[in-house]
Amino acid sequence: MSETQTLSSAFRQYYDLTKPRVVMLIVFTAIVGMLLAVQGIPDLKLVLIASFGIGLAASAGAVMNQIIDMRADAIMARTQNRPLATGGLQMWQAIIFAVVLCVFAAVILVRWVNPLTAVLTLLSMVGYGVIYTVFLKPATPQNIVIGGAAGAAPPLLGWVAMTNTVSPEACLLFLIIFAWTPPHFWALALYRRDEYAAAGVPMLPVTHGEEFTRLQILLYTYILVAVTLLPFTIHMFGGIYLVGALYLNARFFYYVYSLYHTYSDALARKTFYYSIMYLMYLFGLMLIDHYLWDRLVLWWVA
């Protein structure tokens, strides 16, 4: 293997260690929070810097998660190709990489954004990379519910990056992802239940069975639907958001209701993948409404 190929392979291993697809969703929701926090066009330089810092911190949390979960990752088919599970990278390399990412994230956020964003971002990183992975994941089937706070933080972080304050609107964005996390992840856990059982991870389908998990997904989806309508009721968003959210919720509920009454692994997989698109489209709707609704109202009145 040539030196170029070796460097390319090493880069790919480190890149995969950061869970790039997860980090991209985190950064996307953080950027939405930034854009919603201000009227008009935000400071694009600040948006770029804050996104980079939050992305680095999220990547560090992902690396910590894989360091701690290395044994379980090697057992589960979904994760057995991760760099530490395959031996592509050694533990010490991952630890150094996580520290470097964490330090750079802290410096960037403190120096060029604001200390509050830095503190909250690092707390969410530790919440996911350490508290969830070390204490919650192996201890309780409610790990996703409790640990979901760390994953729900990005839009709040984005908002704080722009305003240096934690507002009720930012907390509502946090609450939406917090309510979304259980039905999203338990759909995955249903069709991966045998892998979690083999790895000794007490996910809800393993500890309480498939039927109970499907009921919990249904109940949390009711909560999610209610929470996603709150921004309209407090006049945070207008009609564009309402119509789009109702449609997205109807499709999500259709998947979940079908899953509850007639289970199959294929349907659980479809529900999981739709839940990802659901969140992306929902936050995209927020942006569209934020920038277009007032203009449409003014045009209609005029």
Helix, strand, coil percentages (3-state) for the chain, rounded to 5, are: 85, 0, 15
Q: Are 165 and 145 in contact (CB under 8 A)?
A: no
> Does residue 192 carry a pLDDT above 90?
yes
The fraction of the chain above a pLDDT of 70, given in percent, is 94
The residue with greater pLDDT, 77 or 288, is 288
CA quadruple 134, 136, 139, 144: dihedral sign? negative
The fraction of the chain above a pLDDT of 90, given in percent, is 72
Q: Are 224 and 105 in contact (CB under 8 A)?
A: no
Q: What domains appear along the chain, each with residue ranges and CATH number?
A: 9-164 (1.10.357.140), 167-295 (1.20.120)
The count of other CB atoms within 10 Å of the CB of residue 200 is 11
How does residue 138 score in pLDDT terms, banded at 50, 70 and 90?
confident
> Does residue 91 carry a pLDDT above 70?
yes
How does residue 140 score in pLDDT terms, banded at 50, 70 and 90?
confident
d(CA 84, CA 63): 10
Half-sphere exposure in the Cβ direction for 142 (13 Å, CA): 2
N-terminal to C-terminal alpha carbon distance within the chain: 68
- What H or E segment, with its residue span, contains residue 136? none
How does residue 208 score in pLDDT terms, banded at 50, 70 and 90?
very high
pLDDT at 295: 62
> Does residue 225 carry a pLDDT above 90?
yes
Instruction: For the chain, give the mean pLDDT.
Output: 91
Cα–chain center distance at 71: 23
pLDDT at 146: 73
How does residue 258 score in pLDDT terms, banded at 50, 70 and 90?
very high
How does residue 301 score in pLDDT terms, banded at 50, 70 and 90?
low
| Least confident interval from 106-120, 122-136, 191-205 | 122-136
Query: 44-68 and 3-17 helices cross at what angle (nearest 10)?
Result: 90
d(CA 170, CA 172): 5
pLDDT at 302: 53
pLDDT at 294: 61
d(CA 177, CA 56): 20
Give the pLDDT confidence of 27-83 residue by residue, as tens digits. 999 999 999 999 888 899 999 999 999 999 999 999 998 998 888 888 888 888 899
How does residue 5 score in pLDDT terms, banded at 50, 70 and 90?
low
Give the pLDDT confidence of 152-189 residue by residue, as tens digits. 999 999 999 999 999 999 999 999 999 999 999 999 99
How does residue 4 score in pLDDT terms, banded at 50, 70 and 90?
low
pLDDT at 75: 86
The count of other CB atoms within 10 Å of the CB of residue 284 is 13
How does residue 103 score in pLDDT terms, banded at 50, 70 and 90?
very high
Q: Name the residue with tokens 């927020």.
A: 286
> Does residue 126 carry a pLDDT above 90?
no
Instruction: Tell me the mean pLDDT in the region 140-150.
Output: 78
> Does residue 270 carry a pLDDT above 80?
yes
As separate numbers, helices (DSSP H) first and strands (DSSP E) second, the chain gives 15, 0
Distances (CA, A) of 36 to 104, 113, 171, 275: 26, 17, 13, 22
How does residue 201 score in pLDDT terms, banded at 50, 70 and 90?
confident
pLDDT at 7: 72
